[in-house]
Amino acid sequence: MTETNRPTCEVCHQVFHGNSCVGNFVINGERFERIVHGGNGETADDPCPDCGVLEGQIHHWNCDNETCPSCRGQALGCDCESFELVSEVPVV
């Protein structure tokens, strides 16, 4: 077994390793910027224990520590309806 055990983000397809995720949320038809590590007022001296992002970087999708920008709950478990993540893929 030589391949890495680190999971890959299904949104940005990067391995969880100190790189920022991409995309925005659309919640109930309204567009929100994703909340970065440390952007919720918590200390972010250390990388995210879950997805490895550094302060100021966007958590990878499926990270428990991402905050919902609408209700300020946990993005993965919040009660917002019509919760959608849209990737910012530039249209050529």
Interacting residues with Zn ion (CB under 5 A):
9, 11-12, 21, 48, 50-51, 59-60, 63, 65, 68, 70-71, 73, 78, 80
DSSP letter, residue 53: P
Q: Give 2 or 87: the residue with its C-beta nearer to Zn ion.
A: 87
In the chain, DSSP assigns E strands to: 24-27, 30-33, 83-86
| Minimum distance from residue 5 beta carbon to Zn ion (Å) | 17
Distance CA 44, CA 8 (A): 22
Q: Give 1 or 4: the residue with its C-beta nearer to Zn ion.
A: 4
